Structure 1
């Protein structure tokens, strides 16, 4: 169950509950990957799998959708240098 406190970036990911976290992608990095959780209001939280109690990054549904569309169009290719 999600926290009754307002959800915000930087809050402990543990306050968003233990259930519902997924690893949408995983690499050969020894298990260290990003986990994502869709929240009740449609926003999405991200956390580091090796630090599940650490801070969560929380984005609105629109922000995530815009990012994913940009990635598909190659607009994030600069991140790979």
Structure 2
């Protein structure tokens, strides 16, 4: 299994199935997420820089973030 770390080049990751939100705008200003092999976590990248750095999160971290977003924990950060 590949050793992953925050800030690693997306090009260093194996081929991943990247996806973005249906709410993303056509100008490409969004982030994309992909599950790492073997359920090792989630990689996040900037869609405008697909070969740039990736942030790597554990499944517990990404679960807490998504559930918090669903609960409205970050609503104060958007207009």
Q: Which bracket does the TM-score occupy, shorter chain normalised?
A: 0.7 to 0.9
Unaligned stretches of 5+ in structure 2?
Answer: none
Q: Give the alignment of 1:62-77 within 5 angstroms.
A: 62-77=60-75
Match of 2:77 among 72, 76, 79: 79
Unaligned stretches of 5+ in structure 1?
Answer: none
SS in 2 for 1:35: strand
Report the structure, 1 or 2, having the larger strand content. 2
SS in 2 for 1:51: coil
With normalisation by structure 1, the TM-score equals 0.81
With normalisation by structure 2, the TM-score equals 0.83
Q: Give the alignment of 1:1-81 within 5 angstroms.
A: 4=2, 6-28=3-25, 30-42=27-39, 43-81=41-79
SS in 1 for 2:8: coil
Q: How many residues align?
A: 78
Instruction: Please report the RMSD computed on the Cα atoms of aligned residues, expressed in angstroms.
Output: 1.8
> Retained in 2: the 8 A contact 1:37–1:44?
yes
The Cα offsets for residues 20-72 of structure 1, whole Å up to 9 and x where unpaired, read as 11123342251232111100242000001111111001100000111111111
